[in-house]
Amino acid sequence: MNRLSRRAGFTLIEILIVVVILGLLATIVIPKFGSSREKAFLTSMKADLRNLVTQQEAFMADSGRYASSFPTTMWRTTTGVNLLSITTTADGWSAAVGHSSTTKTCVIFVGSSSLPPATKEGVPTCTP
């Protein structure tokens, strides 16, 4: 046998085919990953608002009123989630949170004063 027939390796065509396949897979996976991140941010904002409901109800049971703020020893947001506002009303309260990695916000209300886009009392709702 001659020396050229025993060479091991890949041809240029084989390498190009692998690169094209990897490129196609990347175009499918990257957008799905981005939407998964967005969903995770929204989920963490909703979880923080649900925890705020629990804290507000505990505060109401102790003091007979809703709070417009809490020290971090009582309630705090998840990393990246920013509390935009807690507003007390005559018969309840409303709150809004945002996230540093998305432009969407989530809101919740308890009582009769709804806060768009939330329409159900005690249910966190995020902007579309």
Model's pTM, two decimal places? 0.75
Burial bucket for residue 51 (CB in 10 Å: 0-12, 13-18, 19+): middle
Quick one: average pLDDT of 65-77? 91
Question: pLDDT-derived band of residue 115, with 50, 70 and 90 as boundaries?
Answer: confident
**CA gap 27, 114 in Å, rounded:** 41
Question: pLDDT-derived band of residue 3, with 50, 70 and 90 as boundaries?
Answer: low
**CA gap 98, 128 in Å, rounded:** 13
Token digits of residue 46: 């909703």
Q: Is residue 42 predicted with pLDDT exceeding 80?
A: yes
Question: Tell me, what's the pLDDT at 39?
Answer: 92
Question: Tell me, what's the pLDDT at 47?
Answer: 96
111 and 121 in contact (C-beta within 8 Å)? yes
CA nearest to 81, candidates 41, 114, 119: 41
DSSP 54-116: HHHHHHHHHHSS--S---TTT--PPTTEEEEEEEE-SS-EEEEEEETTEEEEEEEEESS---T
**Residue-wise pLDDT tens digits, 76-103:** 999 999 999 999 998 999 999 999 999 9
Question: Tell me, what's the pLDDT at 83?
Answer: 94
Burial bucket for residue 121 (CB in 10 Å: 0-12, 13-18, 19+): middle
